[in-house]
Amino acid sequence: MPIRHSKVSAIADGANADIVRPSDWNADHVGICTELGATFPVSPVDGQLFTHSVTGRKILYEYDGANWQSIRSYGGMTVYVDSTGTDDLEHGTAAGTDAFATINYAISVVPPRYGGAVLIYVSAETYNEDLAVYCKTPIGNYKIYIVGTLTQLATDTLTSAIQGTGATRGSVTKAGAFTGYANKILYANSEYRIIDSVTSDVATIVGCWSATPSGTYVVYEWGTKITGSWSTLNQEQPQIVFEYIEFEGSTLDSYSNYGGQPIYEVCRFNGFVGVESSGTLAWLKECLLLAQAYYPRITDLAGLELLMCKIILTSGTLGFEVKTGAVLYISGGCVLESSGPTGTGLLCWGNGTVIFDPDMETSWGYAQIRGWTLGISAYLGGRVLNTTNIQYSGNTTNSTILITDAHSSVHVLGAAAGSDMPSYRSVWMQQVSPLWFKNWESKGTWTTSADGSPGFTAGWENGVLTTGATSGNTAYIYAPTGLGVYANVTGYYPQFRIRLHTVDARATTANEIWVGMFTNPTAPTTTEKHIGFKIINGDISATQGDGATNNTEDTTVNFAQYTGIDLYIRMIGTTVYYWTAIAGAAWGLRNTLTTNAPTGSLLKPTIFIKTTENVAKSLNIYPLGILLGNLETT
């Protein structure tokens, strides 16, 4: 019931309004009295308040006429999840049958405002759930921890150990103890590490130890697994921490439009890890990532820090992608590995930035990039900083700078650059310009048309362009305002990049495709002002025109059915460079055209397809990036 003091003055309550000081007795105060207990009232009324106090939590609820709605918690919370438990407000107090049955229910019990650290302990089982965490705000500097359970494989007393530093990895030795334990978890010296490689006697870790281990070691694997089809973290609270969890066969996607900072410690991801919303800063520490067709990536001005993590390519052609203004900060000790050589280890483009921290690397180990066709690829404004200490092995090509001039995309600042290196957050916050980026969640301000239907179909990142089913039918999409392309302007180097993918076998036969920047996007020709690619029945040519004549050369590359192709163009002066990469493989410079480049033009980014038989043709188009100018980093 409300309690009000009889005398009223103008003295306002302080921040701690529930504490009445002697000097405040004549001020206006309101107190709330509620019932408190371990069992909810049997016959509540609308608006009734109740403080539910059981082992591990104390939460204030209000009855809304149908259900009890949580308002806030007092102090910390500890709850348990076990498949033998029950999802109701009377459970969650201990492991086993007293626990909640699902992780999502345990998350739902956390009130909108929580007054202490929240610990959710999850048993060593498999949970088929699509996680969702949102609308949780701490009253103070508190986090929500979702803590899995590890399964012990072996334990013993180690014979010797190496702490590791720089190029030397940490390790432990015990005769005959480590066969079969690569990519498991090693616990020693009160620290967890991913086991990178083993012999019968020695386990070498990802990164280094903080001190030389001694005494007992334990080998673990992940016991708690989440196998939901799509696990999404929609996070408004400052921080949520996942520990000792394997995301098995599902994808974990960290989204946040509220400046969230998710943390993953000693986790394993068998699928996609994406940090994809402006404002998100995520941290992965001592994690194992198995990259597949949906490879790990960071996009859209987000930030991600990796410390002593290992990324292994298990299928597909790409290990990690950084794009569209995002920042990947590698503190130290990380490994990017392919069993190849195959694919690209680290792809950075569209004003993405990758920073290797030379100071942290001394303590936690140098990064290793091994077993790729191409270790690092950076283009279209992509920046990779402080590469001096990277250890390459087993790669066909360690790194590629698409145009090796004074304005290259990959910069080596040297070992002494640590003190001058821009901080993680300042690089993440800066708007590096001028970048023009378009995904295909909608056509936005772009113009699209087609003979027949469906024409352009928007997707998540990729869209589909489809012609009608009559010979000569076309479909196209273009930016109507146009962008400037100027030759021989100091520091001005237009760049264009896109990926195409065939939807079916018909997309590579009896058709005509134009991709690039054109004066007339509705019916491109070779003589108009343009720079781009022309694809006839799958045969790809580089083409440019100055409005009167053209220069066209065969790239010797073919657009095969059911595959993807990356196309990249860069103009320096009046010279235009044309690059392609099939299905994410290493980039190759196909053509260098030095005549008939467009000058002083407003050209329109365009994707155009025409069928030359009575069959509809479809083309899958992926995000488009254009950099109008040069990006300096040194």
390 with 445, same domain: the answer is: no
- Split at pLDDT 50, 70, 90, the class of 43 is very high
Q: Does 421 share its domain with 491?
A: no
Residues contacting residue 99 through CB under 8 Å, at least 6 positions apart: 79, 80, 81, 82, 84, 85, 91, 92, 93, 123
Cα 543 from Cα 91, distance rounded (Å) = 68
64 within a domain of the structure (yes/no): no
Q: Which residue would you say has higher pLDDT here, 89 or 131?
A: 89
Contact 303, 275 (CB under 8 A): yes
Quote the pTM value. 0.69
Q: What is the pLDDT of residue 572?
A: 81
CATH value at residue 191: 2.40.10
User: Quick one: 423 and 455 in the same domain?
Assistant: no
Query: Is residue 533 a part of any domain in this protein?
Result: yes
Whether 440 maps to a domain, the answer reads yes
My answer on whether 485 and 533 are in the same domain is yes
What percentage of the chain has pLDDT greater than the value 70?
78
Decide if pLDDT at 50 tops 60.
Answer: yes
Q: What is the CATH number of the domain that holds 512?
A: 2.60.120.200
- The verdict on 428 and 440 lying in the same domain is no
Q: Give the Cα-Cα-Cα angle 61, 260, 150 (nearest 5 degrees).
A: 80
Shared domain for 568 and 595, answered yes or no, is yes
454 and 593 within one domain: yes
- At 462, list the tokens: 């990729």
Q: Is 78 inside a domain boundary?
A: no
Residue 422 located in a structural domain: yes
Instruction: Count how many domains the chain has.
Output: 3
Residue pair 570/381 in contact (Cβ under 8 Å)? The answer is no
Q: Write the DSSP string, 73-121.
A: E-S-EEEEE-TTS--STT--SSSGGGSBS-HHHHHHHS-SEESS-EEEE
Same domain, 334 and 406: yes
Assess whether 481 and 394 both reside in one domain: no
Domain boundary among 222, 255, 274: 222
Question: Which amino acid does the sequence have at 583?
Answer: A
pLDDT of residue 415: 26
Q: Which residue has the higher pLDDT, 27 or 498?
A: 498
More confident residue, 325 or 516: 516
Whether 504 is covered by a domain: the verdict is: yes
Q: Which of 332-341, 403-412, 575-584, 611-620 has the lowest mean pLDDT?
A: 403-412
Radius of gyration of the chain (CA): 29
Residue 470's pLDDT band, with cuts at 50, 70 and 90, is very high
Residue after which a domain boundary falls, among 202, 222, 242: 222
Give the pLDDT confidence score for residue 27 in this predicted structure.
42
The last residue of one of the domains, among 432, 450, 482, is: 432
477 and 589 inside one domain:
yes
Compute the distance between CA of residue 15 and CA of residue 564 in angstroms, rounded to an integer: 59
pLDDT, position 412: 30
Q: Amino acid letter at 327?
A: V
Q: Looking at residues 93-105, what average pLDDT do you find?
A: 97
For residue 538, the model assigns a pLDDT of 87
For 343-375, the pLDDT digits (tens) are 889 988 877 888 888 878 889 999 999 999 889
- Is 32 inside a domain boundary? no
pLDDT at 230 exceeding the cut of 60: no
Helix, strand, or coil (residue 416):
helix
Whether pLDDT at 414 is above 80: no
- Is position 103 within any domain? no
Domain limits for position 365: 291-432
* Same structural domain, 421 and 469: no
474 and 499, same structural domain? yes
Task: State the pLDDT at residue 11.
Answer: 40
Report which of residues 33 and 116 the model is more confident about. 116
